[in-house]
Amino acid sequence: MRTAQQIEAIAPLADRQAQRFPRLRDAQLEIVRRFAEGPAREFSPGQSVFQVGERDVPAWFVMKGSIERFGLDGLDQQTSLQTLEAGQFTGELHQLTGSPTLTGAVAGADGCNAIALDAPRMRTLIVGSAELGELIMRAFILRRVGLLERGVGPIVLGRAGSADLLRLQTFLSRYAYPHLVVDCSSERGRQMIEALNLPSEELPLLICPCGRILRRPTNEEAGAWLGITPTLRSGELYDVAVIGAGPAGLATAVYAASEGLSVLVLDGEVLGGQAGASARIENYLGFPMGISGLALTGRALNQAHKFGARVAIPLRATQLRCDSHGTERIGEVVELRLSEQGTVRARTVVVASGARYRRPALADLRFFEGDSVHYWATPAEARLCTGEEVVLVGAGNSAGQAAVFLASHVKRLTMIVRGNGLEASMSRYLIDRIKMLGNVNVLTGSEISALGGERSGRLESVTIRNRTSGMDYRIETKQLFVFIGAEPNTAWLDGCVELDNRGYVVTGAHNRQRRAFAPYQLQTSIPRVFAIGDVRSGSTKRVASAVGEGAAVVAQIHSFLSACTPAA
Give me the residue spans of the domains in the chain.
Answer: 2-150, 155-226, 237-355+498-564, 365-484
Q: How many CB atoms lie within 10 A of CB 460?
A: 14
Region of poorest pLDDT, from 114-128, 223-237, 243-257: 223-237
Record the pTM.
0.90
Candidate CATH numbers 2.70.70.10, 3.40.50.12780, 1.10.150.170, 2.60.120.10; the one for domain 2-150: 2.60.120.10
Note whether 2-150 and 155-226 share their fold. Answer: no
Residue 323 φ then ψ, to 5°: -145, -175
The torsion of the CA quartet 53, 59, 61, 65, rounded to 10 degrees, works out to -10
* CATH T-level assignment (fold) for domain 365-484: FAD/NAD(P)-binding domain (3.50.50)
CATH 3.40.30.10 fits 155-226, yes or no: yes
Residue 341 φ then ψ, to 5°: 70, 25
CA distance 548 to 541: 12
Q: Give 133-146 as a 3 state SS string.
A: HHHHHHHHHHHHHH
Please tell me the total number of residues recorded for the chain in this structure.
Answer: 568
DSSP state of 56: S
Mean pLDDT of the chain: 90
Q: Which residues contact 403 (CB under 8 A, 6 or more apart)?
A: 392, 413, 415, 434, 437, 440
Q: What is the arithmetic mean of pLDDT over 278-299?
A: 91
What pLDDT does residue 567 have?
53
The answer to whether 375 and 272 have CB atoms below 8 angstroms apart is: no
- For 244, the 3-state DSSP assignment is coil
Q: Which neighbouring-strand residues pair with 291? A: 281
The answer to whether 50 and 86 have CB atoms below 8 angstroms apart is: no
Which amino acid does the sequence have at 137? M
The burial of 80, by beta-carbon neighbours within 10 Å (0-12 exposed, 13-18 middle, 19 or more buried), is given as exposed
Q: How many CB atoms lie within 10 A of CB 538?
A: 11
DSSP symbols for 22-53: ----HHHHHHHHHH-SSS-EEE-TT-EEE-TT
pLDDT at residue 326 tops 70:
no
At the top level of CATH, which class does the domain 237-355+498-564 belong to? Answer: alpha beta
pLDDT at residue 256 tops 60:
yes
pLDDT band at 512 (very low <50, low <70, confident <90, very high): low
pLDDT at residue 457 tops 80:
no
DSSP symbols for 311-330: EETT--EEEEE--TTTTT-T
CA distance 359 to 337: 28
Percent of the chain residues topping a pLDDT of 90 = 76
What pLDDT does residue 513 have?
54
Strands 41-43 vs 103-117: parallel, antiparallel or unpaired: antiparallel
The answer to whether 131 and 147 have CB atoms below 8 angstroms apart is: no
